[in-house]
Amino acid sequence: MVDQNVLAALFGFAIFYGFLIFRKAGGTRKSCLPEETAATTVIDGSECRSKDGGGEYFDVIIVGAGVAGAALAHTLGKDGRRVRVIERDLTEPDRIVGELLQPGGYLKLIELGLEDCVEQIDSQRVFGYALFKDGKSTRLSYPLEKFHSEISGRSFHNGRFIQRMREKAASLPNVQLEQGTVASLLEDEGTIRGVQYKTKSAEDLKAYAPLTIVCDGCFSNLRRSLCNPKVDVPSCFVGLVLENFQLPFANHGHVVLADPSPILFYPISSTEIRCLVDVPGQKVPSVSNGEMEKYLKTVVAPQVPIELRDAFISAIERGNIRTMPNRSMPAAPHPTPGALLMGDAFNMRHPLTGGGMTVALSDIVVLRNLLRPLHDLNDSSTLCKYLESFYTLRKPVASTINTLAGALYKVFSASPDKARNEMRQACFDYLSLGGVFSDGPVSLLSGLNPRPLSLVCHFFAVAIYGIGRLMLPFPSPGRIWIGARLISSASGIIFPIIKAEGVRQMFFPATVPAYYRAPPIK
């Protein structure tokens, strides 16, 4: 007969072993720490905290509280998620980009319940663009006839907008904003479990969540483990502010097709106009030794329309000239259990068209809709497989805006190639025709019509229009040759961008298996 103590010991061991298996399979929500630290876990209500105070448990950790991070924190917090946001610097940012929100982005802002964030910051309504080239100008209005009267673009100080969104996110009781620098992602057997970060007071801490979303911007030091970053820096922006000056076309962005590349003007408050001068390449003239001032006065100023020139020169003489590299990076994620990339950490395009915030806000809407049916985020591998659909569902908006930004920058820049310059002139003349010729491209630019096929059709319509101009009044051999090179040049501009975006996901998303991923059933 077996001793009763042995039976009791075996019975106790079986219960303990079963409990371990149950925890490993995700049967309890409280086992939130990696296995090597799980033994130190003390279960206390809705939080998990290690005995040394070094780790807390949340539903979602967001790294970065810029436009994407702050908007995402509010969105997920409003849906009942417990969110921790860790931002390197919670003071008001001071940037020279991220100041124009297209109408399509404003619609996403409304969808997220954040439209009041553009109020009380002296933001300006934007109704379209004005193009200037060789002394001629044309006005391009957003096609807003089918929308409510409040729908338009918005321009503002980037920092004011971000602070409003941070305040809105922090007003939710289940959202915590903390100033700190994330040093690394915590990984356990290929799954991201949380982050290790240093607080403002230099204390090293850890935070854990089944989903960590990295939104730490264009300078992200965490993206390398989550994607294949191929960052291109085609140019730099030189930023100025024109004060107490009215643009020729009120409530419009102004684009000057200068040599070597475009110059932008748009209002950022009731008394300030932002000017951005694009300088090709990664190096710009030095601001400190006066080379930049000389460049702006001698090379750029003579190309600025006469209506803007005096205010432009005055802004140069006041100083406060700032520069920022323009980055482009296609989305190339490595699906990783427990983690996701968003915002400029994930995908960038040339800021010429002001589409970055529209892409970020659209991505947040897609992610919110994917996460809403899920009550439990703890099954990391299943969640990762399900969220692969995010990369396909975001494509119509993201790829349209990304492709247009890259293509327009190249078309709007001057070139020694005569065929490229013909394409540039054809684009200006095509848009100047008005009607469907301007409404179509502007609706793409504004994010109101995110259709990649429509973009390609309009792009090659411009090329064909340019060939038609060359053939009149009669098609000489030289003109035919330039026309052939124009088509070749147009193809060389747009097809590499489309390839980087992904032809299948861009034009045929319904053929991608991830498109049909259903929420995990618990």
User: What interhelical angle do 380-393 and 395-412 show, nearest 10?
Assistant: 50
* pLDDT confidence of residue 70: 98
DSSP 296: I
The residue type of 310 is D
Quote the CA–CA distance of 434 and 104 in Å, as a whole number: 21
Report CA 459 to chain centroid distance, whole Å. 23
- What sign for the dihedral angle of Cα 14, 20, 25, 30? positive
Backbone dihedral region for residue 189 (phi beyond 0: left; psi -120 to 50: alpha; all else: beta): left
* pLDDT confidence of residue 522: 63
CA angle 386, 390, 393 (to 5 degrees): 125
Quote the CA–CA distance of 318 and 252 in Å, as a whole number: 25
User: What interhelical angle do 418-432 and 452-471 show, nearest 10?
Assistant: 110
Question: 15 to each of 4, 18, 39, 164, how far by Cα in Å?
Answer: 17, 5, 17, 52
What is the full per-residue pLDDT of the chain (522 aa) written as tens digits?
444 443 344 434 444 344 333 333 333 333 333 333 332 222 233 333 343 445 799 999 999 999 999 999 999 999 999 999 999 999 999 999 999 999 999 999 999 999 999 999 999 999 999 999 999 999 999 999 999 989 999 999 999 999 999 999 999 999 999 999 999 999 999 999 999 999 999 999 999 999 999 999 999 999 998 999 999 999 999 999 999 999 999 999 999 999 999 999 999 999 999 999 999 999 999 999 999 999 999 999 999 999 999 999 999 999 899 999 999 999 999 999 999 999 999 999 999 999 999 999 999 999 999 999 998 999 999 999 999 999 999 999 999 999 999 999 999 999 999 999 999 999 999 999 999 999 999 999 999 999 999 999 999 999 999 999 999 888 899 999 999 999 999 999 999 999 999 999 999 999 999 998 888 876
Instruction: Work out whether strand 47-50 and strand 41-44 pair parallel, antiparallel, or are unpaired.
Output: antiparallel
Quote the CA–CA distance of 268 and 253 in Å, as a whole number: 10
Quote the CA–CA distance of 229 and 208 in Å, as a whole number: 25
Burial environment of residue 11 by CB neighbours within 10 A (0 to 12, 13 to 18, 19 or more): exposed
Query: Whose CA is closest to 407, among 452, 350, 326, 466?
Result: 350
* pLDDT confidence of residue 54: 55
Quote the CA–CA distance of 313 and 362 in Å, as a whole number: 38
Quote the CA–CA distance of 252 and 308 in Å, as a whole number: 14
Quote the CA–CA distance of 207 and 32 in Å, as a whole number: 10
- Residue 18's CB: how many other CB atoms inside 10 A? 10
pTM of the predicted protein model: 0.88
The residue type of 431 is L
